[in-house]
Each structure stands twice: as C-alpha cells, then as structure tokens.
Chain A
C-alpha cells in the first residue's frame, strides 16, 4: 500500500522544546516538501528537498531544520527558535524524473502541533 505517512497525528510541545515530525514515503518520489498551514490560511513552504542529502529553504525556514539522509524520509525539527509553532504541518512528495511537468504532488495526512 503506497503512500505518505506522517507521525504523530497530534503533537504537544512545551515552550523551549525541540520536536521532530516524521514524514515517510514509499512512492519512490525524489522530491519532498514541508508546508505549514495556519487556520484559514493557505500553505506556506518551509523546506524542500529534490534529492538525498540536499535540501533548500522555503519561504518560512527560520526556526526549522530538516535532513534528507534517505530517499524515503524527510523529518522536520521545530526548534525553540520558532516563536509561533502552533499550526498544521503537511509533508508532500512528487517525482521529478521523466516528464517533470506532469509529475503530480501528493500530501501526507498532516501533523497538528500545539504549543502548551
């Protein structure tokens, strides 16, 4: 059963703590993305990775970090430097080989992070 999984579904963080959100895909997609969504808002890109061991900052990377050691995995760490981390976090992946312009992007189910 192919797809994108994110864990945990809900996460509570105390102020000053770092937390790591998991994202795994078995679709053999090269590119992976992390977005943040605030209530009633659109998606904002945090980080993205086109290949293993390489990643780029998106529009709102401050206070976040990522790694891409394996093709299947793209974990996101929300650090204590992120002042307002309460949001819905979405991971996505898409292929980049072949006719890239036709490659579709799919999302995981999301992690809802709340700062206590």
Chain B
C-alpha cells in the first residue's frame, strides 16, 4: 500500500460546479496534511494546510480531514477554468527526520 494515495484522474468538472479531490494515507500518527496546486510546467504551490479533524475554509477552497478514516479531501467551490491543474496531497511523516510524502496527484480540468 502506498503511503499517500490519490485518484490520478483526470477529473473533469463544469465551470461553476464543486470539484472534490480525495486522498488517503497509511500513517496513523500523521498530524499535518497539505494540498498543493501544480500548473503544467511549473512548481507546486501550497494552497491549503490542515492539522485538525473537520473542515478548514479559505476562500473557494475547503480542506476536510478525518484522521479516524485516514482521509483528507479538498473541495473547490465555484470552479473556474484557472483551477485546471494537478492537485497534490502531501502528508508530513516524522521518522527521526521530517519529510513530506506526496500522492501521485489528481489532474483536474474545469470545462467552460
């Protein structure tokens, strides 16, 4: 089992709809979770971090965390064509050193 798993997509959503991106992880002691957005040919950009169970909202983005189910998700409301990108889920693993483990990424396309 991979440490962090995402559906690679592609996920296609009409403009104005809600895009839902999901991620599961295997390390039960992980405490910190991150979502990055990566446009084609560019480096990943941090868009959300979440540390506690429940929802965290920032503008059109909502991150949801359920540690019991080892599940983290990202909702994008009122999706715009500019949201079309690959979204990477990352989990902080602490095994002596601290490092982020990334999922494979979900490619999202918003259709006008």
Residues of A near any B CB (own CB < 8 A): 31, 33, 41-43, 45, 48, 50, 56, 58, 90, 94, 96, 100-110
Residues of B near any A CB (own CB < 8 A): 31-32, 34, 36, 42-46, 49, 51, 88, 90, 92, 94, 97-100, 102-105
Residue of B whose beta carbon sits closest to that of A33: B99
Given contacts A45-B99, A110-B42, A110-B43, contact A101 B88 (CB under 8 A): no
Query: Contact at A101–B99, with CB atoms within 8 Å?
Result: no
Given contacts A31-B98, A33-B99, A50-B98, contact A109 B42 (CB under 8 A): yes
| In-complex Cβ contact of B43 among A42, A90, A100 (8 A) | A90
Query: Contact at A101–B46, with CB atoms within 8 Å?
Result: no
Query: Contact at B104–A105, with CB atoms within 8 Å?
Result: no
